[in-house]
Chains A and B, each alone.
Chain A
Amino acid sequence: MSELINKEIGEKDCCNIIEIKGLNKWYGDFHALKNIDLNVKEGEIIVICGPSGSGKSTLIRCVNFLEKFQEGSITVDGTELTDDVKKIRQIRSEVSMVFQHFNLFPHLSIINNLTLAPIWVHNETRQEAREKALKLLDRVGIKDQAEKYPNQLSGGQQQRVAIARALCTSPKIMLFDEPTSALDPEMISEVLDVMIELAKEGITMVCVTHEMGFAKKVADRVIFMDVGQVIEQNTPDKFFDNPESERLQTFLDQILTQ
């Protein structure tokens, strides 16, 4: 993990770690994703925003195959996603996800939530996994809660545990699916702080979020989606100061004047 995390931000124009080509997805008759083309470079921080129902969550859930898609291709770190279970598991072992509702395992203590995947998917010893987990818990500021159960923690703490759990497998890519949307306002910043720290360390991140402050601060690219397609993408400066499409202007007006 350390070589990934310590990587310099300057290396970002190397190679695509995620390549999405001509992606189409339907729920029944509903066309949820329309011909999406998107490349993510290694170490890049991407923020995806857009109104609800625009397909942004569906898009990132396709990357680790939590959602099946009908047309197009997704290649993650050189491996193309197919129905092949082995390939799916291989990609999932390199891609971690943080969910809106945390999805911690309530029957396991915090430390066991963290060590589960390292032990069972990455064949680490209990000892190794535990040491690494404690380090990560320390990093997200909840080392002293290691033996507690998820339901004993606040929402903000649970989401920080979820981030630590996602990091525990030394992933190449982190997907965030609205990580702060289910949190009380006073807890949002403690989670965002952890994410900002992470972004500085150079891991590839794709975040679906409405936290525009976060986007401005760390994103390399901001993507606006609506009705299942990418409407506009740009660097944060241009995205927020000079939105080109009318839809994005309206959207920004709405969320920034809240």
Chain B
Amino acid sequence: MAIYPLKETRTPPKSQTKAIAWLKDNLFSSISNAALTFVALYVIYLLLPPILNWTIFDANFDLTADNQSCGREGACWSFINANLKMFIYGFYPEEELWRVNTMFGLIAVLVIFGSLIKKSQYRAHYIIGSFLIYPVVAFVLLYGGLGLEIVETDKWGGLTLTVVVAAIGIIASFPLGILFALGRQSEMRVVKFISVIYIEFVRGVPLITILFMASVVLPLFFSAGMDFDKLLRALIGITLFQTAYIAEVIRGGLQAIPKGQYEAADAAGLSFMQKTILIILPQALKISIPNIVGSFIALFKDTTLLLIIGLFDMLAIVGAASSNSSWLGRETEGYVFVAMVIWVILYLMSRYSKRLEVRFSTEHR
């Protein structure tokens, strides 16, 4: 037999110029891949110039121009500028806009302060406290009371309404979704039965049906005097809808937890609640982060359906603004603008989800 000496480790061989290597690996690795690359380039060649011409080169960036002086060959961005307040605040009274600004400003303050006390032992208290107190403050600011003039919810609209509805839907549906996910896994037959019926019923119905039910059918069950707010009804509908989806997403996470984790928690003598809160849920939620955020992104987009029941979210505002006689025919600018705003918000949400995943990862730190 033979004995082999230990070999020295060395750095990997240098490939050719990096850019060329990259092109070869990613765009021209095979004949079909190369063909796809050329097709894609051709599609970009066809689409990009007209888009750029309309949005930039032929567009009128004079923010004081009116509909007539703007011209028809390109976008008229003064439309956005002229209606910006409506896009953001809907029909909220001009002199009360500071209240909306304060509400959004407070979020920024809370987040910044939260990141400053990252190491503090009171951070958990701070976060829970914020979640309990902030909604009350935000409600008083937005709706009124305590000396502030009441602003009815039919005046709310635009980005404000979109964000408020999405935020309430997300915050309310998350704990409810956890409960229903646990309910569906429960060994108690009644709890399990109710959870399954609820989840399957709601998931089998489109959101638009639920919104119609909430806004048209629900009032039939109440006497005339008891009619309650349209926005509140929509919020309840959206929360019920989102709860079912979150429950299913979290159930997926729960099912991915190995049986050994339950057994180890049981064997240590933990109670059912302790086991669920300390061992099972943290792991299940961590696994579910991408899907939970995906579900929230879907909810954010679904808020545009509010226009069906007569609430003016940002998308509906485009229609309202462009039907104004002085801005007729400028919907396209509005829709492009709204699309960009929504895209930026959703992109940030998705990036944040990535960061959360990395933060909670205990795999290779």
Contact = CB atoms under 8 A, between A and B. Distances in A.
Chains A and B are bound partners: yes
Interface in B114-145: none
A104 B286 CA distance: 16
Contact of A152 (B260, B271, B365): B365
Interface in A163-203: 165, 169
B362 A106 contact: yes
Contacts of A209: none
B152 interface: no
A92 B269 contact: yes
Interface stretch (B160-168, B274-282, B322-330): B274-282
Most buried by B among A66, A107, A165: A107
B269 A169 contact: yes
Contact of B267 (A92, A101, A104): A92
Interface string B186-201: 0000000000000000
B278 to A, nearest CB: 7
B52 to A, nearest CB: 48
A204 interface: no
B43 interface: no
Contacts of A149: 362, 365
A92 B266 contact: yes
Given A120-B274, A149-B362, A152-B365, A103 B269 contact: no
Interface string B280-319: 0011001000000000000000000000000000000000
B232 interface: no
Given A103-B260, A106-B362, A107-B286, A66 B266 contact: yes
B263 A103 contact: yes
Contacts of A99: 260, 263-264, 267
B108 interface: no
Contact of B279 (A66, A96, A105): A105
Contacts of A95: 267
B270 A120 contact: yes
A221 B258 CA distance: 33
Contacts of A101: 258, 260
Contact of B362 (A97, A107, A116, A165): A107
Most buried by A among B264, B268, B360: B268
Contacts of B362: 106-107, 149-151
A136 B28 CA distance: 58
Contact of A151 (B258, B278, B363): B363
A93 interface: yes
A117 B283 contact: no
Contacts of A93: 269
Given A99-B263, A105-B261, A116-B278, A169 B268 contact: yes
A135 interface: no
Nearest to A90: B269
Most buried by A among B261, B263, B264, B266: B264
A97 B267 contact: yes
B264 A105 contact: yes
A7 interface: no
Nearest to A162: B264
A76 to B, nearest CB: 13
Contacts of A152: 364-365
Contacts of B265: 105
A117 B365 contact: no
A114 to B, nearest CB: 11
Enumerate the 4 nearest inter-chain pairs by beta-carbon distance, A residue then B residue, closest first: A103-B264, A92-B269, A103-B260, A149-B362
Interface of B: 258, 260-261, 263-271, 274, 278-279, 282-283, 286, 360, 362-365
Interface of A: 64, 66, 89, 92-93, 95-97, 99, 101, 103-107, 116-117, 120-121, 149-152, 165, 169
